[in-house]
Structure 1
């Protein structure tokens, strides 16, 4: 596609077929509504790829492909998954073939780290995230969203922020991926830039206002961020029982240690010397999650203010 990047890899259908072992089940990383993602290795054996093959028989898949291409064409940030190539061709049967090729994230998705039932036995590191690692991930994604919302000429609404779309590299730096539902909503940024284009997302992370109108906004991403933050520190899915916002709100501040992830509680109990600092930090973090996931868009915290998490991270470093 003209106008992408000079270092853009030129990869054909045959190249991707070979890199993924014929799109073998063994190389399948994950599957979503519009596509399946495979691990791929180029001929030299040194470059790892994540190849998202679109399910073109699914309604909306082609539009998702185009949306992702447009959204990613003009953005570049250390906390966004880097796109390496696009393949818009035909397969050996003459059928249309569309794929997006991304930089491979060695540590996989945050979803697999948080929820052990999704971690295979060979990489059962899942859920062993320290408080500081969780804070680092939260800060990385906050920076990614701030960039999307006000870092370019147009405001971009991601539209599907959730742990499975947050990928971790070998240094545990978090990268936001999957822009198949993204919307470019304005050429001039404001706190609640919006668009009348309907948007789909994932149940539990969709803001309540999306169910009442076709308007989408950057405030919708803020809501999803708040839910993701609460999920990461409680290890409770937004679809488990009552809503995460209400569940955590009732626990703040006095009962906060009763709702945190058991791994956080274990770490907290092992460090008596700064346990009060850690507890206050967790109260602050969950407070941000609650502030971001308020029902009314105008009451939610701004992504530009979430950078205050840096202060908590520095205070919670456990020696």
Structure 2
């Protein structure tokens, strides 16, 4: 609402974001506003009457939202208005014909299916008049009633067939999920997240937003991933993630509870996935707490050497399951710290399968993906170098991402750090310093607190700094082997998991 205090604001462009709610009535107080672009958001409700005070407005774009109601008549009286775009909303009723509406080339109302009237250039249907003659109406009704009856019967048959088919599909999906599935609707998710409020927003991704929610009936805390259907590829990402997770189970994979594919109250497509809520937040928030959300967990953002090693083993185990133990191998394609979630016990769960791919054949070799051969295959710094040259996805790509993740966990440096330029990257940075300078490249936290934190729970035996450095050398060696530039030279993920288990055993004696 504070936007109204900007009396001298001339241009406001907040287009193509994820903004929602009603348009603030205080906009009318922006007396100097000439250009107002709010298109491509999720605004709803009526256009506030206060906007009639925008006497100097020249360019107004409210397209691609969920605004509704009649188009206000006061737009006709805004003499400076040169361009008005109200397309693709939910407006209804008659379109004004005065002022800016006289010129069809500067006014757009396309995509509002319940509008009528306006100038001829808009090609809208004529608004129905209430002054129709009784005889004319009678003749029309004699023609319409049989047609309506026929279409009604046909429509009922189609609806019945649709629901029978839908019920059959849903029963099949329920059998796939098992008895633990939660059945939810759009209205249920809306209530659980308090209207998808910003207070419950816990993450933003390439294809949507993640909200914390509480399902009222069972008081179950969940994470709701809502896909931004305006984003190109969001629908495919929804299907990929759902298909990848619905039939697999592993303690180190995030657990999907159900999927919601419906329409919202404005008639727009709505797709969401519902997951178990992870109290510990993401690994990225622990590795780089200064840039994360400090309120995700009450625990301090501090990971000991053993905790980091346990998380690395969890991630390696999850990849080993996806690559070697599923009936059809699955490639994650976007492994990075923000896609590794931690529960209360700091057990790691690999998440976000929006870019996941099924390999056409059960092999670790580079494989053609039948569903998609072009597109993003990971995030900058974590994506395998061969992907940048057009190679198809393979399990080797995930191994590369895991190697970079492992090096980041124990050096504290992101692969996108400013220090990595002119041919220097995280892989080379670590490789050229082993084994002599392990203490210099290691996360200072690991070495400084290693002796205090790395203890066997039963015997309370402390670990010497020398033993810690030996273990770090081996861990860095695995990270380097996994992130080799050539895919054929990379370590197999099952071998990496086995070696990390061995290192942990040796560390704790």
Q: Sort the TM-score into its range (normalised by shorter chain).
A: over 0.9
Residue pair 2:257, 2:275 contacting (<8 A) in 1 also: yes
1:198 aligns with 2:354: no
Measure, in 1, the Cα distance between the counterparts of 2:182 and 2:219.
Answer: 15
User: Which of 205, 210, 222 matches 2:399?
Assistant: 222
Measure, in 2, the Cα distance between the counterparts of 1:148 and 1:121.
Answer: 32
Structure-1 residue corresponding to 2:501:
310
1:35 aligns with 2:221: no
* 1:265-294 superposed Cα distances (whole Å, 9 cap, x missing partner): 212465885221111000000110000000
Q: Secondary structure at 1:215's aligned position in 2?
A: coil
The alpha carbon displacement at 1:171 in A equals 1.1
User: Which of 131, 138, 161 matches 2:312?
Assistant: 138
Measure, in 2, the Cα distance between the counterparts of 1:206 and 1:20.
Answer: 33
Measure, in 2, the Cα distance between the counterparts of 1:187 and 1:15.
Answer: 40
Residue pair 2:463, 2:508 contacting (<8 A) in 1 also: no
The alpha carbon displacement at 1:33 in A equals 1.0
Structure-2 residue corresponding to 1:251:
433
User: Which of 250, 261, 274 matches 1:77?
Assistant: 250
Q: Secondary structure at 1:11's aligned position in 2?
A: coil
Residue pair 1:19, 1:42 contacting (<8 A) in 2 also: yes
The alpha carbon displacement at 1:187 in A equals 3.6
Call closer, same or farther: CA 1:167–1:212 in 2, change over 3 Å. same
The unaligned stretches of length 5 or more in structure 2 are: 1-169, 455-461
Q: Secondary structure at 1:195's aligned position in 2?
A: coil
Structure-2 residue corresponding to 1:154:
328
Q: Let me know the Cα RMSD of the aligned residues.
A: 1.7
The alpha carbon displacement at 1:75 in A equals 1.1
Q: Secondary structure at 1:33's aligned position in 2?
A: coil
1:264 aligns with 2:436: no
Residue pair 1:115, 1:126 contacting (<8 A) in 2 also: no
What is the 5 A alignment of 1:48-63?
A: 48-63=221-236
Residue pair 2:447, 2:468 contacting (<8 A) in 1 also: no
Structure-2 residue corresponding to 1:184:
358
What is the 5 A alignment of 1:6-21?
A: 6=178, 7-21=180-194
Q: Secondary structure at 2:374's aligned position in 1?
A: coil
Measure, in 2, the Cα distance between the counterparts of 1:31 and 1:120.
Answer: 12
Q: Secondary structure at 1:29's aligned position in 2?
A: strand
Residue pair 1:114, 1:126 contacting (<8 A) in 2 also: no
TM norm structure 1: 0.95
Task: Choose 1 or 2 for highest CA Rg.
Answer: 2
What is the 5 A alignment of 1:68-107?
A: 68-107=241-280
The alpha carbon displacement at 1:116 in A equals 1.4
Structure-1 residue corresponding to 2:415:
238
Call closer, same or farther: CA 1:65–1:98 in 2, change over 3 Å. same
1:300 aligns with 2:474: no
Measure, in 2, the Cα distance between the counterparts of 1:126 and 1:58.
Answer: 36
Residue pair 2:283, 2:341 contacting (<8 A) in 1 also: yes
* 1:135-161 superposed Cα distances (whole Å, 9 cap, x missing partner): 000000001001101111111110000
1:5 aligns with 2:182: no
Q: Tell me which moved more, 195-204 or 164-173.
A: 195-204
Q: Secondary structure at 1:65's aligned position in 2?
A: helix
Residue pair 2:334, 2:382 contacting (<8 A) in 1 also: yes
* 1:40-76 superposed Cα distances (whole Å, 9 cap, x missing partner): 0111564110000000000000010011111112211
Measure, in 2, the Cα distance between the counterparts of 1:50 and 1:289.
Answer: 31
Call closer, same or farther: CA 1:273–1:300 in 2, change over 3 Å. closer
Residue pair 1:205, 1:238 contacting (<8 A) in 2 also: yes
Call closer, same or farther: CA 1:57–1:273 in 2, change over 3 Å. closer
* Number of aligned residues: 317
TM norm structure 2: 0.60
Measure, in 2, the Cα distance between the counterparts of 1:34 and 1:304.
Answer: 31
The unaligned stretches of length 5 or more in structure 1 are: none
Q: Secondary structure at 2:469's aligned position in 1?
A: helix
Residue pair 1:113, 1:127 contacting (<8 A) in 2 also: yes
Call closer, same or farther: CA 1:93–1:273 in 2, change over 3 Å. closer
